């Protein structure tokens, strides 16, 4: 019933949305023509004034999306079982370029914030990353985090999991709308709804917290950031996802990137996602220093750290 109501509302919006983007854009393969395809996907995102508009357009042009049933979960498009990791990209949100660069079209405020990060790292030789004490990286930074991932698809929910800090994104595909604004509150991974079409999981996420795409020289995002994603299983081993990030504070245009995760060889089933806690070993306690950099606090293998260390803040 909720799905029908939402679809009715969405259909009523078609004229204004379709005026911005006349043709839907299907999945584009990351092949030899990727530079041209990437430009096309970037331009597609720029036709929309907001992530909400883009998601509504995609949903309407998909006829509301496909209703999945449990027997379909074994089909290749929906069987995302296995242990994955990010295919590449390191500390760069856009995996096509090096971490010291960005393809984001930043607002003056966004550019200033990024330059401030660069200046701080250049002057101090490092930084403090808030995830050092197992706080969540948050979304959309979630896409850049390494380590092991698992993905669970069911007809009404999909779970996107990273072992790092036991981080789960829940995507509700049961036709529910977002939490109403009067009930919503910001969280690290926000509120995600989605639908399936043509073997793709389309996601819209909002009610997020501010953060950074990665540490180093990657840009920041504000608490107004929203993300539209299209996930697709490519060849049995690789999952790819189109990401369009909208952030009126830091981004002058939506930022398009193609993210990717590869299913790892795991013949002995040794690789599993296990609990991750920064407090289980005191040697992993990280101090945020007054200059904005990081330092280990108190090693269990050194009798008196304060006597040995030349760092005044350890003393």
Partner 1 sequence: MKIKASILLLLTAMPIGAALAHHSGAMFNYGEMVEVTGVVKEFQYTNPHSWLLVDVTNADGSVTTWGFEAEGPSTLMRAGIRKNDLPPGTKITIRGNPLKDGRSAGAWIDAVVDGKTINPRNGFAVVPAAK
SS3 label, residue 240: strand
Nearer to partner 1, 69 or 310 (CB): 310
Nearer to partner 1, 24 or 90 (CB): 90
**Binder of partner 1 out of 1, 182, 270, 290 (CB under 8 A):** 270
**Binder of partner 1 out of 50, 132, 179, 210 (CB under 8 A):** 132
Choose the stretch contacting partner 1; rule: CB under 8 A; options: 15-23, 28-36, 129-137, 168-176. 129-137
CA distance 66 to 48: 23
Q: How far is the CB of 305 from partner 1 (least distance, A)?
A: 6
b (16+ CB within 10 A) / e for 149-160? bbbebebeebeb
Nearer to partner 1, 9 or 308 (CB): 308
Nearer to partner 1, 36 or 297 (CB): 297
**Binder of partner 1 out of 62, 129, 209, 253 (CB under 8 A):** 129
Nearer to partner 1, 46 or 305 (CB): 305
For residues 202 and 195, the answer to whether their CB atoms sit within 8 Å is: yes
**Within a 13 Å sphere around the CA of 97, how many CA atoms are in the beta-carbon half?**
14
Q: How far is the CB of 60 from partner 1 (least distance, A)?
A: 35
For residues 257 and 103, the answer to whether their CB atoms sit within 8 Å is: yes
For residues 240 and 30, the answer to whether their CB atoms sit within 8 Å is: yes
CA distance 69 to 100: 44
Q: Where are the alpha helices (DSSP H) in 47-93?
A: 51-61
SS3 label, residue 9: helix
Choose the stretch contacting partner 1; rule: CB under 8 A; options: 21-29, 189-197, 251-259, 293-301. 293-301
- Identify residues 239-268 at the interface with partner 1 (CB under 8 A): 262-266
CA distance 97 to 264: 23
Q: How far is the CB of 155 from partner 1 (least distance, A)?
A: 25
Binding of residue 125 to partner 1 (CB under 8 A): yes
CA distance 268 to 21: 48
Q: Which residues bind partner 1 (CB under 8 A)?
A: 82, 85, 87-88, 90-91, 99, 124-129, 131-132, 134, 146-148, 163-165, 215, 235-238, 262-266, 270-278, 280-281, 283-284, 286, 293-296, 299, 301-302, 305, 308-311, 314
């Amino acid at each position: 019933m909720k799905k029908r109501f939402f679809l009715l509302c969405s259909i009523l919006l078609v004229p204004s949305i379709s005026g911005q983007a006349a043709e839907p854009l299907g999945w584009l393969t990351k092949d030899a023509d990727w530079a041209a395809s990437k430009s096309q996907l970037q331009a597609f995102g720029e036709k929309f004034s907001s992530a909400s508009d883009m998601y509504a357009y995609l949903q309407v042009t998909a006829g509301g999306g496909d209703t999945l049933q449990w027997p379909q979960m074994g089909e290749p498009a929906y069987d995302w079982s296995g242990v994955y990791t990010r295919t590449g990209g390191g500390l760069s949100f856009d995996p096509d370029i090096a971490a010291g660069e960005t393809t984001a079209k930043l607002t003056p405020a966004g550019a200033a914030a990024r330059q401030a990060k660069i200046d701080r790292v250049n002057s101090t030789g490092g930084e403090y990353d808030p995830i050092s004490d197992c706080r969540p990286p948050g979304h959309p930074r979630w896409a850049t985090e390494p380590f092991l991932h698992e993905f669970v698809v069911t007809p009404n929910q999909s779970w996107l999991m990273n072992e790092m800090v036991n981080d789960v994104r829940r995507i509700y595909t049961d036709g529910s709308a977002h939490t109403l604004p009067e009930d919503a509150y910001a969280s690290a991974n926000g509120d995600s709804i989605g639908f399936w079409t043509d073997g793709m999981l389309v996601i819209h996420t909002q009610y997020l917290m501010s953060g950074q795409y990665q540490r180093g020289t990657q840009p920041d995002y504000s608490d107004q950031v929203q993300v539209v994603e299209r996930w697709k299983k490519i060849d049995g081993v690789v999952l790819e996802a189109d990401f369009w990030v909208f952030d009126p504070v830091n981004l002058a245009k939506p930022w398009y990137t193609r993210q990717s995760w590869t299913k790892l060889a795991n013949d002995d089933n040794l690789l599993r996602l296990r609990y991750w806690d920064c407090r289980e070993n005191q040697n992993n306690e990280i101090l945020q220093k007054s200059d904005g950099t990081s330092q280990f606090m108190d090693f269990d293998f050194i009798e008196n750290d304060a006597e040995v260390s030349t760092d005044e803040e350890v003393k």
